[in-house]
Chains A and B, each alone.
Chain A
Amino acid sequence: MKNDDERDPCAAPIEHLAPALRDRRLSPVALTEACLERIGASDGTLQSFVHVAKSTLAQARDVEREIAAGNWRGALHGIPIGVKDNYLTEDMPTTAGTRAAGISFGFYDSAAVARLRKAGAILIGKTRTHEFAWGTVTPPTRNPWDTNRIPGGSSGGSAAAVAGGLCSAALGSDTGGSIRIPASLCGVVGLKPTFGRVSRYGIVPHTWSLDHAGPLSRTVTDAALLLNVLAGYDARDPACQDRPVPDYTKALGLPIEGMRVGVCRNHFFDRNEPAVDAAVERALSDLSAAGARVHEFEIPNLQYGLAAIFAVELASSAAYHDASVAAGRQVHFEPDVRSLVEIGRLVTAADYLKAEQLRAVLCEDFRRAFEHADVIVGPTEPLTAWNSGEWTVEVGGKPESVLAASWRLTFPYNLTGLPAISVPCGFDHRGLPIGLQIAGRPFDETTVLRVAHAFERGHAWGGQIATHRTP
């Protein structure tokens, strides 16, 4: 551990904590206590957790005994990790962000949570989600970089908790961008693996064919360490694929000289805040300076993507909530979510299937793009975090709903199921973080992580925590 990490271990990346825990230079109990202390001091403002596990210190003491006995389980052993409140857990309640009466969830471990437990992680609590993961705001959670602003969503609690140094990493879920959006707006790393890489068993469904599970972390290496544990076949998730799981840390640190970086110039650069465009162009220059070859292209069919993501999400969400709506329980949902759930019935079956046809077209379009690229790079978000209470934003002179604006650059990789990561790439003039999105071929998280790591290594943004400021 570096000196800074010793002073503030709960703000340190896992890549520093793991060897210190293994070598008993750091006590898991001390680390957990530091996180609980920070939660106590900061979460009254941030509101990133909805539940802190009663067993947290007991878990840490068990880990301490195990490591002392020479049974270190691996990089996540003794690491405090937050769990998004749409992952079922056997020892903590799950609400999926809803307070509506008549809706409850089981007490058993989702596949991802079970994998973390087996790896010896300390599950410190449940982080706040936008209700049913259906939104990009996550009220009332606040952005640690500016507490007047939203953290993004739907994994907003996870992003705020990691950015604020309240835990070392957290689980998120991503249906249209819900890991990458808050990662971008809170200045942390968010990885959406390939559809089928990580089991969704035990996650409250939003949209069966778009939901992805993945981590939010402080560094790219930490994301790789988490994916090493989370990835793997699970027959209980019908979409999960039985493929070998590589060591995702293996290619980290390799040079990117000669690698081909694709840049899709339409859609991803049509309408962004100037600070976002400037930061991403700087990032592309940096990748080029590191020896990558930048290749530009367009995918015109992305102009139909918003229709497709709306059709699939609205229809699926309406089907999932059908019994609740029939019973009238949705009247107790938050107004934005109630509206989205209710209008799902208006999507016709033909429009839904046409959306699924468009997804096939886009998958082929991206496959062709990857004939000339190893990764595709662009902005994660067209804007930085907006003020709490704003439901319309103006980007590029056009007013649009916060949902339409915030998932515009992320949903293409949900429609196509491709792996995509958001890494910090700078700040705007207000000191708000900007995210760089790097996507890859199906199941090629290794290359995505390698390029993300090379970019992160060349800059000072990786691993920093937010300053909890209120302007």
Chain B
Amino acid sequence: MLSHGVVHSVSRNLVTSASDAAPISTMQDVLGTSLSDDRFRESLAAFEDVLAEIRKLRSLDLKDIHPAVIFEPTAPYRAKGEK
């Protein structure tokens, strides 16, 4: 039951493409999900609204922007009180 939360207007686009373009099991394997086929289809439908937003983000060219993720190799030393 996916009628709560982000889901309020469910399109079947993703579900249809999942059925037509690639076997569900292949998609599940690629995405690393262990959901049942039915539950996976429901998840695809529930994701439709989020995907609509993400499509806007994909339209941006951000190649010159460093993401807000900074790798800090000193973190474990700091946590142990070492310099």
Contact = CB atoms under 8 A, between A and B. Distances in A.
Given A235-B78, A236-B79, A307 B5 contact: no
Given A304-B60, A345-B31, A399 B8 contact: yes
B21 interface: no
Q: How large is the interface on B (under 10, 10 to 19, 20 to 34, 35 or more residues)?
A: 35 or more
A336 interface: yes
B22 interface: no
Contacts of A310: 6, 50, 53-54
Interface string A334-346: 1111011011011
Contacts of A361: 62, 65
B35 to A, nearest CB: 6
Interface string B16-35: 00000000000000011111
A50 B17 CA distance: 44
A340 B2 CA distance: 9
Chain B: interface secondary structure? loop
A363 B66 CA distance: 12
B32 to A, nearest CB: 6
Interface string A423-458: 000000000000000000000000000000000000
A308 interface: yes
Contact of A235 (B65, B67, B81): B81
B19 to A, nearest CB: 16
A130 B43 CA distance: 21
B49 A401 contact: yes
Interface in B51-70: 51, 53-54, 56-58, 60, 62, 65-69
A311 B5 contact: no
A351 interface: yes
A354 B4 contact: no
Contacts of B13: none
Interface string A353-370: 111111111010000000
A57 interface: no
A303 B4 contact: no
A342 B35 contact: yes
Contacts of B8: 391-392, 399-401
A384 B56 CA distance: 29
B77 to A, nearest CB: 10
B60 to A, nearest CB: 7
A252 interface: no
Nearest to A328: B34
A358 B5 contact: no
Most buried by A among B4, B31, B53: B4
A358 B1 contact: no
Contacts of A400: 8
A190 interface: no
B12 interface: no
A355 B5 contact: no
B72 interface: yes
A335 B6 contact: no
Nearest to A330: B35
A363 B68 contact: yes
Nearest to B81: A235
A391 B7 CA distance: 9
B72 A307 contact: no
B34 A336 contact: no
Given A351-B58, A392-B8, A339 B2 contact: yes
Most buried by B among A209, A304, A363: A304
A342 B65 contact: no
Contacts of B62: 354, 357-358, 361
B57 A358 contact: yes
A275 B57 CA distance: 32
Given A346-B44, A357-B65, A401 B6 contact: yes
Given A235-B81, A238-B79, A310-B54, A339 B43 contact: yes
Contact of B5 (A346, A347, A360, A401): A401
A40 B6 CA distance: 36
A391 B5 contact: yes
A353 B3 contact: no
B45 to A, nearest CB: 10
B6 A339 contact: yes
A335 B42 CA distance: 12
A90 B53 CA distance: 42
B39 to A, nearest CB: 7
A404 interface: yes
Nearest to A404: B6
6 contacts: A304-B57, A325-B33, A343-B6, A343-B46, A351-B58, A358-B60
Interface of A: 135, 209, 235-236, 238, 303-304, 306-308, 310-311, 314, 325-326, 328, 334-337, 339-340, 342-343, 345-347, 351, 353-361, 363, 391-392, 399-401, 403-404
Interface of B: 1-9, 31-35, 39, 43-44, 46-47, 49-51, 53-54, 56-58, 60, 62, 65-69, 72, 75, 78-81
The 4 closest A-B pairs by CB, nearest first: A336-B4, A356-B67, A336-B5, A307-B53
